[in-house]
Amino acid sequence: MRLAELSERSGVPTATIKYYLRERLLPPGERITATKSEYGEEHLRRLRLVRSLIQVGRMPVATAREVLEAAEDESLSQNARMGAAVWALPHGAEPDEDDPHAARAREQVDTVLRRMDWSHGQELGDTSPAYRMLVAAIASLDRLGYPHDTEHLLVHARLAGELAVADLDLVETYDTPPERIEAVVALTVLYEPVLLSLRRLAQTEESGRRFAE
Amino acid sequence: MRLAELSERSGVPTATIKYYLRERLLPPGERITATKSEYGEEHLRRLRLVRSLIQVGRMPVATAREVLEAAEDESLSQNARMGAAVWALPHGAEPDEDDPHAARAREQVDTVLRRMDWSHGQELGDTSPAYRMLVAAIASLDRLGYPHDTEHLLVHARLAGELAVADLDLVETYDTPPERIEAVVALTVLYEPVLLSLRRLAQTEESGRRFAE
DNA sequence: TCCGTTGGGGAGTGGCACTATCCAAGCGAT
DNA sequence: ATCGCTTGGATAGTGCCACTCCCCAACGGA
């Protein structure tokens, strides 16, 4: 398939595909002559994934490249690749080291990890982007004076645990390691808006139930 | 307090505060003389909220203004203001009308709303930003060929429902309507990264448990 | 009175995701 | 064979947006 057809089938402008090729988000097509390259179905699939990461996941192009590179890094084991890919996902603001709010948040996060018996989180601690993202978010809540007692966080953590079980069940429907790695990345990113919009719908529902006049 | 002190106490540069004032994200201070304005504690609080919406919630400045305006629109009832504020929150890509994937997603969403007995969602349907956000997200999953059967969505919906109950419990700890409205906005936005990072931590945990070598 | 400081406003900056243009090299119809 | 259209590749914009710089006039303490 030519670049034009790849563009037509994906709905992505040719100029943008060229840009992605340049940025190494998409592997080059098979060079036929100096002016013709052939692209396959896997290019189409990859292109759609890239678009999803960038448009649905609102991920910077550079980050998407890191995620994809980690996902296919041949030097890593399957498990390490999965971890590396999720590791590279965007993770918002970093906590401020010399902030008393951040310090309190850190303590609280550690308590939650302990109570949930999440040993990986405890071991990885501050080196994990997700951990730092959580600390920064809770520090913000603290700074604004919003309640976030440990019990309340544990409710969220428990629900997050249930979500993770459902997500991983889905990943396990894929048989081969490469498929699984791509699935983890795609499902982690693509289910985020699903979850957030469901939460807002549920909030509307619940708030209507409680505060209806 | 002066602009300089407001800046120091919030950690936001004076130039940026001036920008927010110009963009009407922050009400003007009380004008003392032509060259002096007085800002109060409520300005500090508002400034921190704005920063959280923009930096934690990664919300465009224009959107933050709409949210805040809706939240304090005197012409609306308390409930309507709450709805309007959440309504104005950013909601990502819109679904493509002539896309068969979007059509299928829409059906599936309607089924979920029916099964969850979420009547507000059913009535509001396509006019609700959260509904459209959900349709767009599921359409993306569909386009990429990832599984998202109704049962799986229902798991997410049920968990979202539990989250909403916990969230609204927190809102109800506030006694006055204005506080509640601000709390809904702040908690909706500020708990999103909390939820997403907990989910990633839980995924790491669960994936380690399943795929450990 | 003098000079540093303040609030205000307009113009500029930097980052980023594209996108428009150009060019040389095919390829297809005549 | 040739003329014109298309293709892939490279370079230089473009548009948006969240700031940020700079200047000015008006204080106000020494």
- Interface residue B32 vs chain A (CB under 8 A): no
Q: What is the pLDDT of residues B23-68, one digit of tens each?
A: 999 999 888 887 788 999 999 999 999 999 999 888 999 999 998 9
Query: Which run of H or E residues covers position A182?
Result: helix A177-211
Q: Judge whether A84 lies within some domain.
A: no
At A213 the pLDDT is 63
Q: Does residue A80 lie in a domain region? A: no
What is the residue-wise DSSP string for B75-129? TS-HHHHHHHHHHTS---PPPPTT-HHHHHHHHHHHHHHHHHT-HHHHHHGGGSH
Whether A104 and A199 share a structural domain: yes
Q: Which nucleotides of C are covered by protein (CB under 7 A)?
A: 5-10, 16-21, 24-27
Least reliable range by pLDDT among A24-28, A101-105, A163-167, B86-90: B86-90
Measured distance CA(B159)–CA(A160) in Å, rounded: 9
Residues B202, B103 share a domain: yes
Same domain, A200 and A152: yes
B35 plus B99 within the same structural domain: no
B189 is a domain residue: yes
In a domain, B103, yes or no: yes
Instruction: Note whether residue B66 is domain-resident.
Output: no
B162 interfaces chain A, CB cutoff of 8 Å: yes
Q: Hey, what are A129's tokens?
A: 């982007």
Summarize pLDDT for B133-174 with one digit per residue, the tens.
Answer: 899 899 989 988 888 889 999 999 999 999 999 999 999 999
Looking up tokens 């100096």, which residue turns up? A34
Whether B132 is in a domain gets the answer yes
Residues A48 and A112 in one domain: no
Q: CB A140 to CB B168 under 8 A?
A: no
Domain span including residue B187 = 94-211
CA of B109: which chain A residue's CA is closest? A198
Nearest to A197 among B133, B196, B212 (CB): B133
Distance between the alpha carbon (CA) of B90 and the C1' atom of D3, Å: 53
In this structure, is residue B61 part of a structural domain?
no
Q: Residue B56: enclosing H or E segment and its boundaries? A: none
**The tokens of B133 are what?**
């956000």
Task: For residues A96 and A36, state if they share a domain.
Answer: no
Buried b (16+ CB within 10 A) or exposed e, B127-159: ebbbbbbbbbbbbbbbbbebebeeebbebbbbb
Both tokens of A176, joined, read: 């081969």
Going from the C-alpha of A183 to that of each of A63, A106, B39, the distances in angstroms are 17, 31, 51
Rounded CA–C1' distance between B3 and D23, in angstroms: 19
**Look-up of token digits 């290019």:** A43
Q: Are residues A96 and A200 in the same domain?
A: yes
CA distance linking residue B174 with residue A200, whole number of Å: 20
Residue percentage of chain B with pLDDT more than 70: 98
Higher-scoring residue by pLDDT: A35, A138? A138
Tokens 């500020």 locate to B190
Rounded to an integer, what distance in angstroms lies between the CA atom of residue A204 and that of residue B107?
Answer: 20
> Cβ of B166 and A155 within 8 Å?
yes
Q: For Cα atoms B78, B26, B74, give the angle at the middle one, nearest 5 degrees.
A: 25
pLDDT exceeds cutoff 90 at B127: no
Closest Cα to residue A163, out of B47, B5, B202?
A: B202
The pLDDT of residue B99 is above 70: yes
CA distance B168 to A200: 11
Same domain, B20 and B117: no
Nearest Cα residue to A93 out of B115, B132, B194, B13: B194
Lowest mean pLDDT among A3-17, B96-110, B112-126: B112-126
pLDDT at B1 over 90: no
pLDDT at A148 over 90: no
A15 touches strand C (CB under 7 A): yes
Beta bridge partners of residue A30, listed in sequence order: A38
Establish whether the CB of B128 is closer than 7 Å to any nucleic acid atom in strand C: no
| Same domain (yes/no): A110, A159 | yes
The predicted structure's pLDDT at residue B134: 92
B94 pLDDT higher than 80: no
Q: Which of B129, B123, B120, B199 is closest to B163 using CA atoms?
A: B199
Instruction: Name the protein residue, with chain letter, whose CA is nearest the C1' of C25.
Output: A35
**CA A150 – CA A112 distance, rounded (Å):** 7
| Beta bridge pairs of residue B30 | B38
Average pLDDT estimate for A187-208: 91
Encode pLDDT of A92-136 as tens digits.
777 777 788 899 999 999 999 999 999 876 677 778 888 988 998
Whether residue A102 sits in one domain with residue A52: no
Please tell me the distance from the alpha carbon of residue B164 to that of residue B185, in angstroms, as a whole number. 13
Question: Do residues A116 and A154 touch, judged by C-beta distance below 8 A?
Answer: yes
| C1'-nearest nucleotide to the CA of B37 | C7
3-class state of residue B26 by DSSP: coil
* Other Cβ atoms within 10 Å of B75 Cβ, number: 6
- Is A166 a domain residue? yes
Structure tokens at B188: 């909706």
Q: A38-64, pLDDT tens digit by residue? A: 999 999 999 999 999 999 888 999 999
Which residues from A are below 8 Å from B173, CB to CB? Answer: 147
**For residue A93, how many other CB atoms are within 10 A of its CB?**
16
3-state secondary structure of B67: helix
Amino acid, single-letter form, for residue A107: E
Same domain? For B51 and B98 the reply is no
Number of domains chain B is built from: 2
A137 and A49 fall within a common domain = no
